[in-house]
A = this chain, B = another copy of it.
């Protein structure tokens, strides 16, 4: 007999009908006992007890599929990430994901993590098939994903997703964050500060704002910014040490890059912070545990995730709610990777 034969219950498990039959009551009664809080449950106590006995006896557990169909709620939330590098090397993604998991489960929601980068058509498919009660985007999303969420009326909260304000959106104040870092460095006495934009061209507003704010802060302080750099960290460090600009401090776009920076400076024999100050964004593992620990502009992960879950649940309750954009501020955490430049000329030594 075929495995999926129509009359065999799922993996041999009892259904609500089996329970009803077992206790000689109706499915409706069983359903009420199981779903209504005791104080609002119209079922008489002895009847209630009978149901519970049968449930126990059969080891019955309601099928989520049946429930989801009848209720039109799956209690699942898509947490969407578009980064082609996977989740690892990103800004405080890890912490955000962990927090989200916690907070969502407190309100009875389950996150499923979906990667929407190119080459994953199933992601698009899933976002469109009623599987999720809502969506939390941790990234800028491609246009097709945005269109899909929109045409589906999926309650969605975008987190730093670089979208127009027709979406409910949580953004980060990268301008203020970068300024904090720059003021710290300039206050320490640095005159030549280099900015490392990372491995690849990044058109996300965070990338653009951080780079331009860096240059702006330099000019505002009467200093000359370095030429822009995108590429491998080893090249960046070689240029910093051997090139004409001779920075005494570095601002890295992301923690992953900063960790590489520390390693390459070590390879080239420079000490941090004595020979070079290093800073970056996002206070994530292992940024506080490097040698030396890194000074960073940090995201308020707790606030962000709490707010995101709150906005999302509001949107699920009331899908027609006005979209809004809220901005969260970054904070400066000073650690041991920054210090005043050396009193000598302070430049990296050649080769």
Contacts and interface: CB of A to CB of B under 8 A. Distances in A.
> Which of A154, A259, A290, A291 has the most chain B CB within a 10 Å cutoff?
A291
Contact of A72 (B10, B61, B259, B290): B10
A61 B120 contact: no
* Number of identical monomers bound together in the oligomeric complex: 2
Interface in A91-108: 94-95, 97-98, 101, 105, 108
A13 B108 contact: no
Contacts of A290: 263, 286, 290-291
B63 A129 contact: yes
Given A61-B129, A101-B113, A262 B291 contact: yes
Contacts of A112: 76, 110-113
A189 interface: no
A203 interface: no
Interface string A273-304: 00000000000011001111100000000000
Given A101-B113, A129-B61, A293-B263, A13 B152 contact: yes
Interface of A: 4, 10-13, 59, 61-69, 71-72, 74, 76, 86-89, 94-95, 97-98, 101, 105, 108, 110-115, 120, 122-123, 126, 128-131, 151-154, 256, 259-260, 262-263, 266, 285-286, 289-293, 319
10 closest A-B pairs by beta carbon, nearest first, are A64-B129, A11-B153, A63-B130, A64-B131, A266-B291, A112-B112, A86-B98, A65-B69, A61-B128, A65-B68
